Structure 1
Amino acid sequence: MDPRPQPGERFRSRTLHRWYALTWVLLGACPPVIGALDELDTSKYWLFGLLAVICLSYLLVGAFPANPILRPRTFLGVLVVGLAVVAYLLEGGASLFIMSLPLFWIFATGPRQAIGFSGAAAATSIIGGTAPQGWSPNFLTGNVIAILIGYAASVLLGLWMDKVLGQSDERARRLNTELEHAQHQLAQAHQRQGAADERERLAREIHDTLAQGFASIVVLAEAARSDLDTDPARSTQQLLSIENTARENLAEARALVSSAPAGGIPAGSVAQTLRRTLDRFSEDTGLTVNADLRDVDCDQPTRIALLRCTQESLANVRKHAAASTVGIVLSEHPFGIELEITDDGRGFVVEESHGFGLNGMRKRLAELGGELTVTSSVGDGTRVLAMIPSNGQV
């Protein structure tokens, strides 16, 4: 459906239309009525009746523009005949004709129809106004000249307005096309951004779960192979750890495929979940783990973020730190929840670290309104502090 207004509808501003209707009544219809009040013959009643018919038709066609009987073309025909009869009764009627000229442009479907109907009204008004006196050489009376000038002025003004409004419609159509194009591009950009965000989320989840699990399996398998001849019991324990890690990875993979928000995390408090992770880490690596885990109250997204930060930090300790002791403190404060993980390993230069793991932790915490602070220097170990604000503190 074409949203543009039709030619005649461009002239139909509701506010201007109301003001014009009031002006038409005061300056067009009222003067003939006032002038005919002192007449003694019955012609004045015909005049009043005709004006009433024109006014009623005007109101009806404005109120019911879609009615097949009260179509604008029908009203324009009534207006032409009415103006001619009024001109005959008044032996003039130029003022009513001139005040009625905008109606032809308001209700016509185009410039040609407006010019045609207004031209017919001008001709019939001139004929009606001069008929009572009969034909005379002084045909061009003041009334006739006023009608001709009014008609010519209305044609020029109407054509100019039609051109101006046509250009405005063209600009509006062009702007609408540009807007639709921009909206389409914006929708595509949102779609691409959504896809990119989803890929980043999946990459972060895979890195924090499956990749870490596979890295643990590789380390445990290498250790089990080296201890197979010298310490079979240790190798057996490492193989059991490999089996458990593989099962956990399978659960994580199924959770990722099904988009489960819990991410395969077992039930229990966040302190219990972290304790199981630390016990597994200590068992697999043999490192000393000192933990102070408060049973904090938090929602599932916060619980997942704390677990992922712990897993990533422990994985970094396993792969890079060469530490002997790891400390972890989980505490709750008025401003939020803090998770601190320290090690006595070799440390590193934080500014030179661009790994996916630390960036992933930062983004995961930022999604919850939290932040990650990493403090480390070569030879002095590492401190990782994750802070997540309490609900309503973001």
Structure 2
Amino acid sequence: MTALAGPSADAFWAASLRRWNAVCWVLFAAMAVGLAAMDRPGGSKYGALALLGCVVLCYALLDRFPDNPVVRPHVYLSVLVLALGGIAYLRSSYAALFMVTLPHYWMFGRTPRASMGFLGAATVATLAGTWSRRDSSLEFFSETLMSTLIVVAVGVLIGLWAHSVVAQSTERARLISELERTQAELSEAHQRQGAADERERMARDIHDTLAQGFASIVVLAEAVRAGLASDPARSARQLRSIESTARENLAEARELVGSAQAQAQAQAQRQGGAAAGSVGVTLRRILDRFAEDTAITVVADLADVACDQQTRIALLRCTQESLANVRKHARASTVGVILTRRPYGVELEVTDDGAGFVPEESTGFGLDGMRKRLAELGGRLTVTSSVGDGTRVLAMIPLGMPMDTDQGNEGAE
């Protein structure tokens, strides 16, 4: 029989061996007692006992030492074939041993071809032994031939069925093993993807918060150094802006460190001094700071939109990124910001009259990070610009039912 694999096949093999092992030992003992006590004395009696003893000894060694290189399953089957032929020649009472050992050809044959080969050899040996007996008549041989062929046919059918069952069990075990291995690989891939997504989220948050804040501090510090002697009042305001931006960056850093837990994140946002009220209130504060720091005219139309915290943060980050791009690249004199509640969601539009650019040629991290942040909420980002015609950034985020005012007035950052 083919090598078995998996829990089902192993269980089938072990149960079959235990059952037939017990049956064989009972039969061996019964035949030995019968030959020794009930048969007439004679050389054939002792010869049959010797052959039976060889089979019992070989089977005992195989059962006791299954990994012994000397007593292999094929050696036992060869001894069994010869012993059956010898007992059939010496005695007529071989049928019980022949029938009870039929499963052994399938259990120890390893392959269907080998099993049927040994079974055929045993059939030929027993029939040859019966035909060679001096007291065997043609009628007796014919009866023996018919009964033996019937037993062999039944044994072949049962053996092939058992082999099919074990083969199916082996195949199922193999498929289950492959499925478990695939599931483990998929779980590992999900973990790696989750870690990569988390690193990307952290990089996006750092870019949208800390990096922008540090860029503002650098720009303000350069302006203070340039105007400290000529315009002390303006320089003092810019120094206060530097201090305020640094405090906000510190609050953002604490928020990022505590973002693993929602409760800790909310606490960090409250400790960071996030403005109470709707998202429009916080946007107004950001725009006032931008206008003060850059002297760029800001025209804002901010609706009182109540939304969940994730949407609120996404709108704030898009505004901060858009203003940072205006500060660094646009050379604009006017910026317009419109926040509108639509039936399908909320829209944030940021426009400027600056130098513009070609969106398809943009390689920066900011716009790509904005798109991914909005996509996580089911939204989209549209950037319209051309060289010399300014830039329009439109962010849309779908919203469900409006939230309560108290919920909309929680901290935004």
- Relative to the length of structure 2, the TM-score reads 0.63
Alpha-carbon shift at residue 5 of structure 1 (Å)? 1.7
Contact 2:209 2:252 in 1 (8 A): yes
Partner of 2:34: none
Instruction: State the shift of 1:198 in Å.
Output: 0.6
Q: Which runs of 5 or more residues in structure 1 are unaligned? A: 11-64, 66-70, 81-100, 120-134
Partner of 1:313: 322
Give the structure 2 partner of residue 365 of structure 1. 374
User: Structure 2, unaligned stretches of length 5 or more?
Assistant: 28-98, 109-114, 120-134, 403-413
Question: 290, 295, 299: which is aligned to 1:290?
Answer: 299
Cα distance in 2 between the residues matched to 1:75 and 1:272: 87
CA distance in 1, matches of 2:188, 2:345: 38
Q: Classify the secondary structure of the residue corresponding to 2:7.
A: coil
Deviation at 1:267, TM superposition (A): 3.2
1:2-50 CA distance string (max 9 Å, x none): 842246738xxxxxxxxxxxxxxxxxxxxxxxxxxxxxxxxxxxxxxxx
Shift of 1:377: 1.0
- Aligned pairs for 1:211-360 (under 5 A) are 211-259=211-259, 261=265, 264=269, 265-360=274-369
In 1: Cα distance, 2:276 partner to 2:141 partner? 102
Q: Aligned partners of 2:280, 2:389: CA distance in 1, in Å?
A: 28
The 5-angstrom pairing of residues 1-394 of structure 1 reads 3-6=6-9, 9=12, 111=107, 138-139=139-140, 147-259=147-259, 261=265, 264=269, 265-391=274-400
Distance 1:9 1:392, change over 3 A: farther
Distance 2:361 2:11 in 1: 71
1:218-248 alpha-carbon deviations (Å, 9 max, x no partner): 0000001111111111111111100000000
The 1:256–1:8 alpha-carbon spacing in structure 2 relative to 1, beyond 3 Å, is: closer
Contact 1:111–1:162 under 8 Å retained in 2? no
8 Å contact kept, 2:6–2:174: no
Once residues 392 and 208 of structure 2 are traced to their aligned partners in structure 1, the CA distance between those partners, rounded to angstroms, is 19
How has the CA–CA distance of structure 1 residues 189 and 6 changed in structure 2, closer, same or farther, with 3 Å as cutoff?
closer
Distance 2:11 2:342 in 1: 70
SS at match of 2:8: coil
Higher alpha-carbon deviation: 167-176 or 151-160 = 167-176
CA gap 1:258/1:8 in 2 versus in 1, 3 angstroms: closer
Displacement, 1:301? Answer: 0.6
Quick one: structure 1 residues 268 and 75, their matched pair in 2 at CA, closer, same or farther if it must change by over 3 Å?
farther
How many angstroms does 1:348 deviate by? 0.8
- Stretch deviating more after TM superposition (289-298 or 253-262): 253-262
What is the Cα deviation at residue 73 of structure 1?
A: 6.5
CA contact (8 A) 1:342 1:383 kept: yes
Question: What do residues 238-294 of structure 1 show as CA deviations (whole Å, max 9, x unaligned)?
Answer: 111000000000000011011155573443210111111111111111111111111
> Conserved in 2, the CA contact under 8 Å of 1:274 and 1:307?
yes
Aligned length: 299
TM-score normalised by structure 1 residue count: 0.65
8 Å contact from structure 2 (residues 224, 239) kept in 1: yes
- Whole-Å separation in 1 of the counterparts to 2:11 and 2:338: 77
Q: State the shift of 1:171 in Å.
A: 3.8
Q: CA deviation at 1:374?
A: 0.6
C-alpha contact 1:309 1:361 (8 A) present in aligned 2:
yes
Alpha carbons 1:111, 1:158 under 8 Å: kept: no
